């Protein structure tokens, strides 16, 4: 373990004036909180990090990505994750680490070998600060991707409209990922509810182009293979015009202007089947 003289001096200083530095650190960080965290919480967090940092410095010098800094790093991960969830910006999160420099700067300026110690410390803290920002970004990405997933789940409900009739109100643009989810849910719904008819309502779909039509067709074909009749409803006047202008062919798939009209048709077909059954023809 090769510790430069500067590092030894730094260590002594950090150990002997621990309380003073931690207090200074907490004070400077507390200024940026704007009421999102209590000062006591910050004091506890920073105190733990300071102790871990001190331990790591004692063990093996200034290499911030080394093994002996693993405790410091795990504490920083926790800190940046919490900060990201509470809506702190990356700058504010990184400043938590960088503000320790400021606190130590004043103490080190006074000592004879201070400049060297300060530079070493600055390098270490820069490294740890960058690490914090990285973690912050990673957490944010996790939050975004889990929200996207939730949105996907929420935006594709399959509802039972009548005995034997399922409704799928689509809201938002249809891409291939969503089509997959819609298809899965619809087919499973058909199986679970033993339905013979499905109405796909596209009132909430802002635009229908060839791509979206292709996805709709796929869904209808899949439902047909499970033995269900599909009706596409909720086609607005502008959409109807676009469909014709683009030359999209829905083939023999029934389309209706409103959900009510589609439901009427589906009920009529179900009625026909049940009356045949009553007459003993089925």
Partner 1 sequence: MTDRVPVLKIGQILLVSIQTDLEDQMVLDLQEDLSQRIVDTNAQGVVIDITALEIVDSFVGRMLATIASISRVLGSETVVVGMRPAVAMTLVELGLSLPGVRTALTLERGMEQIKRLNQNPSAPR
Complex with partner 1: residue 4 or 157, whichever CB lies closer: 157
| Least Å from the CB of residue 219 to partner 1 | 8
Instruction: Give the H/E segment covering residue 201.
Output: strand 197-204
Kindly state the smallest distance separating residue 178's Cβ from partner 1, in Å.
14
Alpha helices in the chain (DSSP H): 5-16, 18-30, 39-60, 70-85, 90-110, 114-154, 176-193, 210-225, 237-246, 259-278
146, 158 contact by CB (below 8 A): no
Interatomic CA distance for residues 127 and 56, integer angstroms: 14
In the complex with partner 1, the residue whose CB is nearer, 94 or 183, is 183
Output 109 or 276, the one with its CB closest to partner 1: 276
Please, which residue, 87 or 227, has the CB nearer to partner 1?
227
Tell me the torsion sign for CA atoms 196, 202, 208, 212.
negative
Q: Residue 185 and residue 263: Cα distance in Å, rounded?
A: 20
Least distance to partner 1, CB of residue 194, Å: 6
Phi, psi of 204 (to 5 degrees): -85, 5
Interface residue list for partner 1 (CB under 8 A):
180, 183-184, 187-188, 190-191, 194-196, 218, 221-228, 252, 273, 276-277, 281-282
The conformation of residue 86, written as its DSSP 8-state character, comes to T
Residue whose CB is less far from partner 1, 145 or 188: 188
Nearest approach, Cβ of 188 to partner 1 (angstroms)? Answer: 5
**What's the min distance (Å) between Cβ of 216 and partner 1?**
12
């Amino acid at each position: 373990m090769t510790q430069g003289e500067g590092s030894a001096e730094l260590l002594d200083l950090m150990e002997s004036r621990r309380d003073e530095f931690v207090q200074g650190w907490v004070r400077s960080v507390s200024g940026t909180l704007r009421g999102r965290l209590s000062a006591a919480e910050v004091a506890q967090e920073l105190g733990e990090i300071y102790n871990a940092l001190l331990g790591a410095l004692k063990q093996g010098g200034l290499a911030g990505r080394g093994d002996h800094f693993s405790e410091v790093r795990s504490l920083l991960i926790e800190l940046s994750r919490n900060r990201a969830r509470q809506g702190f910006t990356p700058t504010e999160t990184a400043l938590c680490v960088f503000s320790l420099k400021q606190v130590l700067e004043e103490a080190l300026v006074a000592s004879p070998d201070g400049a060297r110690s300060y530079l070493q410390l600055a390098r270490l803290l820069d490294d740890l600060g960058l690490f914090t920002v990285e973690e912050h970004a990673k957490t944010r990405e996790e939050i975004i991707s889990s929200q996207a997933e939730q949105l996907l789940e929420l935006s594709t409900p399959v509802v039972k409209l009548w005995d034997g009739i399922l409704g799928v109100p689509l809201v938002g643009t249809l891409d291939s990922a969503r089509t997959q989810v819609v298809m899965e849910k619809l087919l499973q719904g058909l199986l679970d509810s033993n339905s013979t008819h499905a109405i796909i309502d596209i009132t909430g779909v802002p635009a229908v182009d060839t791509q979206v039509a292709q996805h709709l067709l796929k869904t209808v074909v899949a439902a047909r293979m499970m033995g269900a009749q599909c009706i596409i409803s909720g086609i607005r006047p502008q959409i109807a015009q676009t469909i014709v202008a683009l030359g999209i062919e829905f083939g023999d798939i029934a389309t209706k202007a409103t959900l009510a009209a589609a439901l009427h048709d589906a009920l009529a077909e179900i009625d026909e089947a049940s009356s045949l059954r009553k007459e003993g023809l089925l």
